[in-house]
Amino acid sequence: MTDHLTSLAAGYEAASRVLKKYQIDAAQVFEAAGVDPHLFDDPDNRLRLNAIKALWYQCERLTNNPCFAFEAGMAIVPANLHALGFAWLASRNLREALERLARYQRLLSTALSVSVEEEGDELHLVIGAAVGWPQQALDVATTGVVALCRDITYEEFKPLRVEMTRDEPKCAKLLARYFGCPVRYGSDRTMIAFRREQTEKFLPRQNPSLARASDDVALKYIAQMDREDVLSRAKVSLIDMLSNGEPTRTALAHRLHMSERTLARRLSDRALSFRGLLDGVRKELALGYIDQARYAVTDIAYLLGFSDQSNFARSFRRWTGSTPSKYRTAKKKRYETDNEPRDV
């Protein structure tokens, strides 16, 4: 069943801009699809399956272009991604941005799955969709990810290769030029491959504090969107609780209005424990704080709810293999090296 699945309405603003290129009034297209154009005025609004299918049908019919979704993806900009878009822009490197996309993809669509997989010297972004979800969703996601990568790197950015489960479309030549890399159709998965080294270079517009703030907005949106998503709700609660000391499972369960046994069971359903969840939230926050020079290491330990700096240092070494100070120094050197003037 896909009736409960939704996608962020704001993402279809890109389709509106592409329709204008065809001299087609986007408002009329939305009305023809049975969608109120004013729905797009609120960035928090979402679309259900029937509306999404009708929109893609009308867009392809009126433009007479079965590849319209690919074009819509090419027009995607970070602002179409709600808080995730701002976190994307502020990410330290492309790898971090792709991991954010995988972490918060539920904000964009509850029907899509996104994962980042490392294979040798390559990084793979794998995109899947729920059974019955339209192919156009995968099409727009594939070109959209590359458009977003170019937005934070450089205009000529090219992935290593692209694979799609779909049959080869009529616009295959256009897509080959757009991606600038080998494209394989009829694959067993939809995937974009990157050189791992390519994804780990620091970006000139990185802003860890803005990225962290945007992460919080994304997480809270997901928690509010789906009250049954205990994982998102628990993460939001833990972030709020950490500055008051180390949270307990009892306190978290009380905050989520459930028993400890229920909390443990709900986390277990997601292959997590309370300690594992807390450790993951602390690690994620620590890696964000450590890049912000305004935070001393002692400040970070306090913000993460550690009783003293030595406990934080031990955890940080377990996460990264380094002390907080050495990690910060190494990151700074790498950033300076990646941003040295060089011939283009």
Query: 100 and 173: one domain?
Result: yes
Query: 155 and 267: one domain?
Result: no
3-class secondary structure, 206:
coil
Residue 7 in contact with residue 64, Cβ under 8 Å?
no
Query: 46 and 139: one domain?
Result: yes
Q: For residue 286, what is the domain's CATH number?
A: 1.10.10.60
Among 199, 217, 247, where does a domain finish? Answer: 199
**Bridge partners for 93 per DSSP:** 202
Asked if residue 58 is part of any domain, the answer here is: yes
Within 10 Å of residue 188's Cβ, how many Cβ atoms?
A: 7
Query: 106 and 169: one domain?
Result: yes
- Per-residue tens of pLDDT for the chain, all 344 residues: 455 789 999 989 999 999 999 999 998 899 889 888 888 889 899 999 999 999 999 999 999 999 999 999 999 999 999 999 999 999 999 999 999 999 999 999 999 999 999 999 999 999 999 989 999 999 999 999 999 999 999 999 999 999 999 999 999 999 999 999 999 999 999 999 999 999 999 898 889 889 999 999 999 998 888 776 788 889 889 988 998 889 999 999 999 889 999 999 989 988 889 999 999 999 988 988 887 778 889 999 989 999 888 999 999 999 999 999 999 888 777 766 665 544 43
Distance of CA 249 to the CA centre of its chain: 28
Asked if residue 18 is part of any domain, the answer here is: yes
Asked if residue 340 is part of any domain, the answer here is: no
Q: What is the CA radius of gyration of the chain?
A: 21
Query: 10 and 157: one domain?
Result: yes
pLDDT of the residue at 287: 86
Supply the pTM of this predicted model: 0.79
Asked if residue 218 is part of any domain, the answer here is: no
Asked if residue 212 is part of any domain, the answer here is: no
Residue 3 in contact with residue 48, Cβ under 8 Å?
yes
Query: 156 and 256: one domain?
Result: no
CA nearest 239: which of 304, 311, 319? 304
Asked if residue 221 is part of any domain, the answer here is: no
Cβ-based burial of 236 (10 A; exposed 0-12, middle 13-18, buried ≥19): buried
Query: 195 and 232: one domain?
Result: no
Residue 12 in contact with residue 40, Cβ under 8 Å?
yes
Q: Which long-range contacts (CB under 8 A, 24 or more apart) does 166-169 make?
A: 166/135, 166/138, 166/139, 166/190, 169/66, 169/67, 169/70, 169/139
Asked if residue 52 is part of any domain, the answer here is: yes
Task: Domain count for the chain, please give it.
Answer: 2
Residue 142: domain span:
6-199
Query: 239 and 183: one domain?
Result: no
Query: 251 and 315: one domain?
Result: yes
Q: For residue 56, what is the domain's CATH number?
A: 3.90.1520.10
Query: 195 and 251: one domain?
Result: no
Query: 123 and 79: one domain?
Result: yes
Query: 250 and 295: one domain?
Result: yes
Asked if residue 205 is part of any domain, the answer here is: no
